[in-house]
Structure 1
């Protein structure tokens, strides 16, 4: 199963340069890397990245994450995937720009 992380351009650049990341400031504060499912990703973009341009949508296969991935209740009681270790660049299945068009993030076809 694929899960998704939205990165700002500097965060994505850091992951590519360093080969791993503990995530954005919110991830560092919470102690884990926040992810979203396919269904959750558009709402995550709207809620936490409203109006932000230059974003990157990163997909990660859950099987690569092992026991470090936990499903925990969050927004509205829904279970969200949380990674309790650094995200490795090698964990990334694919990454695509998440452009902002008319104030809305345009997910790749089939992703919202």
Structure 2
């Protein structure tokens, strides 16, 4: 069961909690899929796309449970990134936790 991750700002996470599903953040809507990261990629994703942002949520998903809607496609430097080609459902989550910002850096200790 490979675990993959999504980072949401609070304003993106709250609609998922309220509605039970989301089509993703603005970047996901623009690209036509939900951007996800592996455990090896998620720290770089946080640094590159959420640098210095507080109030983030880290969501964990089981890649195998997403079926054919999950595709692995080349992105940064040719690395394969998981992309979800359907709505993300609250039931898809293994867990979700705050992603703390400490001294300007996101602290993944105890999360991955």
TM-score after normalising by structure 2: 0.96
- How many equivalent pairs are there? 111
Question: Counterparts of 1:77 and 1:22 in 2: how far apart (Å)?
Answer: 25
**Displacement of 1:108:** 3.5
Alignment match, 1:39: 40
Question: Counterparts of 2:43 and 2:23 in 1: how far apart (Å)?
Answer: 22
Report the 3-state secondary structure (helix = DSSP H, G, I; strand = E; otherwise coil) of the residue aligned with 2:82. strand
Gaps of 5+ in 1: none
Alignment match, 1:108: 109
Gaps of 5+ in 2: none
Q: How does 1:71-82 map to 2 (within 5 A)?
A: 71-82=72-83
Alignment match, 1:86: 87
Let me know the Cα RMSD of the aligned residues: 0.9
Change (3 A) 1:65 1:52: same
TM-score after normalising by structure 1: 0.96
